[in-house]
Amino acid sequence: MSDSFSPGERSRAKRVHERAHYDRDSIYAVLDAGCLCHVGYVIDGQPYVTPTIHWREGDQVYFHGSSASRMLRTVKQGIPVCLTVSFMDGLVLARSGFHCSVNYRSAMLFGQAEAVEDEAEKLAALKTLVDGLLPGHWPQMRAPNDQEMKATTVCRLNIEEASAKIRTGPPKDDEEDYALACWAGVVPMRTVIDPPIRDPRLNDEIADPDYLQQIVQA
């Protein structure tokens, strides 16, 4: 397997080429940094974009939802799909409005999705989803029953083309503007995980598991 995806017309950056990355490590890092993606597809000439939870295994990205979902019923037929993941890491305040920007990480994937039909593979994929969100929670949960499995669709997107775009660092002003008496710099932004909130109906004798503390500290 090559260390990079080969960019095509769909995935090759058309602007700000220095921010583009096609290597698997950069793209995987963006995909694995979070769990919310947006899936773009077309139904009868109308484009739609649906947010959903995703997880990755190798060159395959999985997402799931209700079997009644129009999005899942459509994309599992093998139509072209564009899946994106993005993070905003900071406000970039420059000495001119033109050069104000944001620091960000984004990934854009192209391919065709297919439904995971094998029940064992489907269950394993759902376990991977839960383990990725909160390691240690799956063993405590009740296993999905047959009706719940039937009501759930898991789709797998085989990545055909992919690219990442990343901006880091301070503003890049015009040389003559650096002498202006105007504050410039970066206001960093990050996602914070707050302490867990217990379900009001949770038995008081059930203690908070250690894995909750681990994810808060992380």
Q: Please report, for residues 29, 70, 110, 190, the alpha-carbon distance to residue 161 in angstroms, rounded to integers and kept in the order given.
A: 16, 25, 5, 28
Residues above pLDDT 70, as percent of the chain: 99
Checking if the pLDDT of 218 tops 80, the result is no
Please check the confidence at residue 16 and state whether its pLDDT lies above 90: no
Dump pLDDT digits (tens) for 155-178: 999 999 999 999 999 999 999 999
For the chain, give every domain's residue range: 17-217
Query: For residue 217, what pLDDT is reported?
Result: 67
Q: Average of pLDDT values for 68-80?
A: 91
Q: What is the pTM of this model?
A: 0.90
User: 5 or 83: whose pLDDT is higher?
Assistant: 83
- Beta-sheet pairing, 20-21 with 101-115: unpaired
Calculate ∠ Cα 67-68-73, nearest 5°. Answer: 75
Backbone angles phi, psi at 213, to 5 degrees: -65, -35
Note whether 161 and 74 are within 8 A (CB): no
The CATH code belonging to domain 17-217 is 2.30.110.10
Is the separation of the CB atoms in 83 and 50 below 8 Å?
Answer: no
pLDDT tens digits for 22-67? 999 999 999 999 999 999 999 999 999 999 999 999 899 999 999 9
CB 88 within 8 A of CB 189: yes
